Each structure stands twice: as structure tokens, then as C-alpha cells.
Amino acid sequence: MSSTTGLVQPTTTTRLRGDSLNFLETIGQSIANVAPTCTPALNITVVAGMAGTGTWLAYLIATIGMLFVAGNIGVLARRHPMAGSYFVYISRTLGPLAGMMAGWSMIAAYTATAIAITFGSQIFLSDMLRALGFGSLVPPSWLFNVAFIALVWLLAYRDIRISARAGLYLEFTSLGIITIITGIVLIRHGGIADSTQLDITHIPGAGVMSALAFAVFSFVGFESAATLAKESRDPTRMIPRAVTFSAGFAGLFFVIIAYAMVVAVGDQASVLAESASPFAEITRRAGLSWAAAIVYASALISGFACCLACLNAVSRMMFSMGRYEFIAAWMGSVHKHHQTPHYAISAAAASILFICLLLSGLPIVMAFGTTATFGTFGFLVIYLLISLVAPLDLHRAGILKPRHALLGGVGVILMAFVIFGSLYPVPEYPYNLLPYLFVAYLLSGAAWYAILAARSPSALLAIQNDLEL
């Protein structure tokens, strides 16, 4: 530890590859992490079951709310362009313990999302092969997990530019395919006008409000561009724009696709709610059964891009925390040639693979649902803290304006509502256990912080001084 700053001094002068990602590549990180294609392929079922013909409205309200959160992230990203992003943002305002808990929470969020997406991608591959008549070629779960995560690790390990571009191209390819098929379905249906969906008086208001929590779940990951601040060009301008664009773009896609899917099933949103593959269901109803395999392939592409984005994000979080020695210091090392946090990437990938193999005995849909829900708690905690910290950070600097206070206030209220909505009514087993497991995970992080403080209180004070710079 440095005696003056507290920042871990790396054994090598190698740094992350700075000034390497352009605007589109930075956006690609967030868009890939959101994985918009997975919403019509799977996630929309819960929202449609609650909001019915108001599904599009639930996504519209959620989009507005997430834009408020994006505004708060933008405020902090302009002032603190760091690879640790949320860990650093929160540490500098609420102190190292809060920062430690924020980083701990984000590690869980991105790791659990990568695990869930790995299971989801296995579902998509199996459905695609069966749709093509090759059901006998579905690989064993363990083999798929090893191959899928190994390929993700290879792209993340080699070069951030390669993995960012891969995520960008893969996700926009899958989005393009889904958009084209949606257009064909609507043409077959005879148009896009739907008086039922557009008549606000006939939309179930209570259902829309209940569905908001689940609609917000579709956005998680839009903030991950902030973890690439050290590798982006002009990050103080680019990161806030990338985060805001990602939230807005994903939200617009969700609103349009939700509206179109309800049109395609003749306002029978219950059809979407009861289907294990809602988008494939609308193609079948439109006489496009051949499109099912394409839909599954698109979702598989989206899942791979999302898992890659998760690995990029979690490794940067671990890299930053490692440099401050909140976790193993060697996590803060950078590969001399590839200029990536190779140890953090490898450790994260190994953890993802280990947990996937550990959970492989569960029904795959349950494995997907439980890990995705667990990860979502991590995102919601961070969104709440960010909305709280942004105005406090500006107030501390003496530059707080009323619009900043409004952004923070609305963000806090929205996230508090979403967290409450995810806890009550109490979900069914085993989902009712997940909040307690997440709290236990956070307590383990607090316990680790206490151990660090007891071992070296002077070093912890030095870290705090450095974080306040």
C-alpha cells in the first residue's frame, strides 16, 4: 500500500487500454448487458400476465423511471470516470464501507446475471435444435456450460475492443432479426392499429402498477458502460450519453415490441403470459412456424453478448476493488499485452462456471429464474444508492441544482417502490428465500470489511483519504 494515498501500487506499469472504445462500442457494452432480445423471447411473460393490454404502458413508465436513474448515473460518471464506477461513486460520498457494499452488490449482480443468461442460452439452444428437428443433438448441460463460458472468457481476456465490438454486433444482429420478424407478423395480422391497447380507460391500472417491478427487471445492465470509463474515449462525455442512450433505446424497443406482440395475439395478453416462448407463439399464430428456430437463434446470440458484457463489467469492478485491496490485490493486475484485467476476468469466469455446474441438477427454468432474481436485487440496491448519492455528491461539491435534486428524489422513490414490489406479496418458494440469501451475502461483505478494518485500520484510513480525492 502506498503510504500517501492508500492506492495499491501494481507490480507492473501496465494499464487498462485507455482511449480505445468509441461511442458505439461503449453503447454496445450496455445494450449487450440489457440483452433486449431476451425480453420478447422470455421475460415479457410476467409483465403481460399482470398488465395485460397495458403491457406497453408498464414498459413506458419503467422507461421514464430508468431515464431518471440514468440521469443520476450520468452526474456521477462525469465527475468520477473510474473503472470501479459504482464502487467509487458511493465510496467517495458515503465512505469506504458503503463503497465496499456497493462493489460487493454489483459483483453479485453481474455474476448472477451471467449465470442466469448461461442457463437461458442453454434453453434457447435446445429449443432451436428441436425446432430444426435435431433434438437428439442437444448437448449435456455441463458440456454446454463449459464451452459457452470458455468462449466468453476468451473474448473478454484478449482485448476489450474485440469483446465490446462482438457484443455490439451480436446484440444488434439479434435485434434486427426480431424486428424484421415482428414486422412480418404485423403485416400478416393486417396492421398495427389497436383501439383496445390505446384506450387508457380499458387498461388495468392496478395490473400496470404491479407489473412495474418486473418491467424494470428487463433494463438491468444498462448502467454497465460506466465500468469501462478507463477504456473509453472522453469518458466524462461518452459514459453519461451511453448510459442514457442505452436506457432510452432499450425502453423504446420494449414498448414497441410489447405493443406489437399483444396486437399479434389479438389482445389476448394471457397467451403471452402462459407461453414458455412468447415470441415463438406469435410467429406460430401468424403462420410462420419456420421462424421459431430463427427466434431461438437470435435469443442465443443475445444471451452470449449479454454474458460477455457481464464478464467485462464484473471484472472491472473486481479490478478496481483489488487495486484498493478490498479483495485480493492480484485482481488489480493488468495483462502486459492484452491490457485487460486478466486475473479478475479469469476468476470471475471460473466462479460463473463453478456455480453453473453446481446448479446444473436443478430444473433449468428454476436455475434461470432464481439466479436472475438474485442478481436483480444487486442492481436494485445500486440504483437506489446511486439516486441517493448523486445529489449528495453535487451538494458536497457546492454545485447542486434543483433538477439534480429532482432526478435523485424520483430515482429513490421509484427504486424503493420496485424493491418493495419484489418483496410483497411474498413470492412462492424458492423465490421467497432469495431476499434473505441476498442479505446474508451482503452481511458476508460487511464481515469481510470488519476483518480488513481490524487487521490494518491505518491502511483503511489511507484508502478513505484516497477515495475522497
The reported pLDDT for the residue numbered 281 is 84
Does the pLDDT of residue 399 top 50, yes or no? Answer: yes
The reported pLDDT for the residue numbered 394 is 95
CB 278 within 8 Å of CB 105: no
Domain count, the chain: 1
Q: Which of 82-86, 93-97, 155-159, 251-255 has maximum average pLDDT? A: 251-255
The reported pLDDT for the residue numbered 115 is 97
CB 237 within 8 Å of CB 84: no
The reported pLDDT for the residue numbered 12 is 44
CB 377 within 8 Å of CB 434: yes
**Is 17 within a domain?**
no
Q: What is the DSSP string of 3-26?
A: TTT-----SS-----TT-B-HHHH
Q: What is the DSSP string of 308-353?
A: HHHHHHHHHHHHHHHHTTSS-GGGG---TTT-S-HHHHHHHHHHHH
237 phi and psi angles, rounded to 5 deg? -100, -40
CB 440 within 8 Å of CB 105: no
Q: Which residue has the cell 403470459?
A: 273
The dihedral built from the CA positions of residue 354, 359, 364 and 365, taken in this order, carries a sign that is negative
**Is 6 within a domain?**
no
**Is 446 within a domain?**
yes
The reported pLDDT for the residue numbered 194 is 81
The reported pLDDT for the residue numbered 10 is 40
CA angle 162, 143, 177 (to 5 degrees): 50
**Is 119 within a domain?**
yes
SS3 162: helix
pLDDT digits (tens, 9 = 90+) for 251-308: 999 999 999 998 888 767 888 888 777 888 888 888 888 888 888 898 899 999 899 9
The CB density around residue 224, as the number of other CB atoms within 10 Å, is: 31
CB 113 within 8 Å of CB 377: no
**Is 318 within a domain?**
yes
pTM of the model: 0.88
pLDDT digits (tens, 9 = 90+) for 439-452: 999 999 999 999 98
Q: Within 13 Å of residue 117, how many CA atoms lie on the same side as its CB?
A: 36
Mean pLDDT computed over 74-96: 83
Mean pLDDT of the chain: 87
Give the model's confidence band at 8: pLDDT under 50 very low, under 70 low, under 90 confident, else very high: very low
**Is 154 within a domain?**
yes
- pLDDT-above-70 percentage for the chain: 93
Does the pLDDT of residue 63 top 60, yes or no? Answer: yes
The reported pLDDT for the residue numbered 13 is 53
Q: Which of 142-146, 335-339, 405-409 has the lowest mean pLDDT?
A: 335-339
Q: Which of 137-146, 155-164, 368-377, 394-403 has the lowest mean pLDDT?
A: 155-164
Mean pLDDT computed over 301-328: 90
Residue with the larger pLDDT of the pair 456 and 247: 247
| C-alpha to C-alpha distance for 463 and 452, rounded to whole angstroms | 11
The reported pLDDT for the residue numbered 140 is 94
Give the model's confidence band at 11: pLDDT under 50 very low, under 70 low, under 90 confident, else very high: very low
Q: Where are the alpha helices (DSSP H) in 132-227?
A: 141-158, 160-189, 195-198, 205-217
CA distances from 1 to 320, 399, 426, 456 (A): 14, 33, 46, 11
The reported pLDDT for the residue numbered 86 is 80
**Is 81 within a domain?**
yes
The reported pLDDT for the residue numbered 398 is 93
**Is 7 within a domain?**
no
Mean pLDDT computed over 309-327: 89
Does the pLDDT of residue 1 top 60, yes or no? Answer: no
| C-alpha to C-alpha distance for 65 and 59, rounded to whole angstroms | 10
C-alpha cell, 427 = 413470492
Give the model's confidence band at 249: pLDDT under 50 very low, under 70 low, under 90 confident, else very high: very high
| C-alpha to C-alpha distance for 394 and 90, rounded to whole angstroms | 13
Mean pLDDT computed over 325-335: 88
The reported pLDDT for the residue numbered 459 is 61
Per the structure, the complete domain to which residue 177 belongs is given by 23-467
- What is the CATH number for 81? 1.20.1740.10
pLDDT digits (tens, 9 = 90+) for 132-161: 999 899 999 999 999 999 999 999 998 777
